[in-house]
């Protein structure tokens, strides 16, 4: 997969893209991430990428020309999505990450800044994505989140692929609790069932924990899970 990031701050990504599983995946060629600065596509001597808003208002707006030029400079691999990271977009979740990882050869991510982006950029955008109902100083943070979540799902990134299927949200529930050595820590003991070696009982306990944890922490997810379970009967 090729991921092209249109960003005014390429350095924001350099260290995270070299770390941990993400860095290993990129070094193995599982994915390729290109950082494109729209300032490189400006035509004035000051490399201006923003301007005041027509109609007045506080803050500067990103100009359309450098963004169009940056996107149009890219090799077009199909199928692809051109994604604008914006609070107005659909909320990023595990299902959406899986869709991106499975169905596309190329993702073009446009990172917003300042007060916003000229509305005409929407003419090259095919999708808008948000981390949630809040505002950040830049689009680089959600872009990095999306990159991490997508590349993690690509074959070869995670050593044991089966671990992906036990993740939170994979079956609509939160993850079950995990324990490791020591068996007793400050009077807190590992649940005996996990020491039993009885795989069927362990699986049953873990599923019960998923249900209980989802009901307690995310009743909205629990309601959706119960509705889906009812509809699939």
The set of catalytic residues is 87, 115, 152, 167
Residues 6 or more apart whose CB falls under 8 angstroms from that of 37 comprise: 7, 8, 10, 70
Pairing of strands 60-62, 50-52: antiparallel
For 55-64, letters b (16+ CB in 10 Å) and e give eeeeebbbbb
Residues 6+ apart with CB under 8 A from 161: 155
CB atoms within 10 A of CB 33: 19
């Amino acid at each position: 997969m090729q991921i092209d990031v249109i960003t005014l701050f390429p350095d924001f990504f350099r260290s995270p893209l070299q770390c941990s599983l993400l860095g290993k995946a990129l070094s193995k060629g599982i994915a390729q991430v290109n950082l494109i600065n729209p300032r490189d596509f400006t035509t004035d001597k000051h490399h201006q990428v923003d301007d005041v808003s027509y109609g007045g208002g506080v803050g500067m707006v990103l100009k359309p020309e450098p963004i169009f030029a940056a996107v149009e400079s890219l090799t077009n691999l199909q199928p692809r999505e051109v994604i604008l990271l914006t609070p107005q977009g659909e909320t990023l979740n595990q299902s959406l990450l899986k869709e991106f990882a499975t169905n596309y050869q190329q993702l073009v991510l446009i990172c917003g800044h300042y007060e916003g982006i000229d509305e005409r950029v929407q003419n090259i955008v095919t999708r808008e994505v948000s981390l949630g109902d809040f505002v950040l100083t830049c689009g680089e943070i959600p872009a990095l989140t999306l990159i991490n979540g997508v590349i993690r799902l690509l074959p070869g990134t995670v050593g044991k692929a089966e671990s992906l299927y036990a993740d939170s949200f994979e079956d609509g529930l939160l993850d079950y609790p995990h324990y490791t050595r020591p068996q007793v820590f400050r009077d807190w003991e590992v649940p005996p069932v996990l020491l039993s070696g009885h795989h069927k009982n362990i699986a049953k306990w873990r599923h019960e924990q998923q249900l209980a944890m989802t009901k307690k922490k995310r009743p909205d997810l629990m309601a959706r899970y119960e509705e889906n379970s009812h509809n699939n009967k």
